[in-house]
Chains A and B, each alone.
Chain A
Amino acid sequence: SQQGEEDPQALSIQEGENATMNCSYKTSINNLQWYRQNSGRGLVHLILIRSNEREKHSGRLRVTLDTSKKSSSLLITASRAADTASYFCATGSSNTGKLIFGQGTTLQVKP
């Protein structure tokens, strides 16, 4: 299937540390997006990277995309307790445009 697979499934770090989450996918994409979900809430869009881009920044977020390896990473620098949430990658198919979500990484940032 096309869906992204995040790694690790769960991550626990101390406040101030960096958090890195990875996403792998199988088919051709035109974009890859990262979303955050606080417990029991809806998803919030964080950042979108297009297939012809290799790196993108937004505040404390840094996303990389390697289309040759069909993988992406999300780096959150100087993490805060408020960053505790689940993070999902979603891949946009270059054939159908359909956006498919992975299972997510649960991040816990301890104060």
Chain B
Amino acid sequence: ETGVTQTPRHLVMGMTNKKSLKCEQHLGHNAMYWYKQSAKKPLELMFVYSLEERVENNSVPSRFSPECPNSSHLFLHLHTLQPEDSALYLCASSQVFWGTGELFFGEGSRLTVL
């Protein structure tokens, strides 16, 4: 139990589907992050939310749409994805936005785009 829960753990979708990834943190943190992890590449920061406000959008294609309805929940809405979007999507949280402390990660959602 990491304190950050991601669902679903595995997702297979076609290029025309619409799906969502969900992240929930039970740690009382104020910042939440989406990272993308592809094979043989460093973790790529996608979005950052601090106190429910998006503070970073790291040049992510519009087919990825984040939503943060409250400080405990973060969604990543997926639409018309490409096969190269297949990856492990990791959610993380921290007590303070880009503070000097650690990030707490969920177990990830493994996405396969056919």
A positions within 8 Å CB-CB of B: 3, 30-31, 33, 35, 40-45, 48, 50, 88, 90, 92, 96-104
Contact = CB atoms under 8 A, between A and B. Distances in A.
A98 B108 contact: no
Which interface class (under 10, 10 to 19, 20 to 34, 35 or more) fits B? 20 to 34
Contact of B102 (A42, A48, A50): A48
B76 to A, nearest CB: 15
Interface stretch (B11-19, B37-45, B66-74, B79-87): B37-45
A40 B107 CA distance: 8
Given A97-B100, A99-B103, A103-B40, A42 B45 contact: no
Interface of B: 2, 4, 6, 35, 40-43, 45, 56, 88, 90, 92, 97-108, 110
Could you tell me the dominant secondary structure of chain A's interface residues? strand
30 contacts: A3-B42, A35-B105, A40-B88, A40-B108, A41-B108, A42-B4, A42-B90, A42-B106, A42-B108, A43-B92, A43-B103, A44-B105, A45-B102, A45-B103, A45-B104, A48-B100, A50-B100, A92-B100, A96-B98, A97-B100, A98-B56, A98-B98, A99-B98, A99-B103, A101-B42, A101-B43, A102-B42, A103-B40, A103-B41, A104-B42
B102 A33 contact: yes
Contacts of B101: 48
A35 B105 CA distance: 10
A92 to B, nearest CB: 6
Q: Which of A3, A41, A102, A103 has the most CB of B within 10 A?
A: A41
A40 B43 contact: no
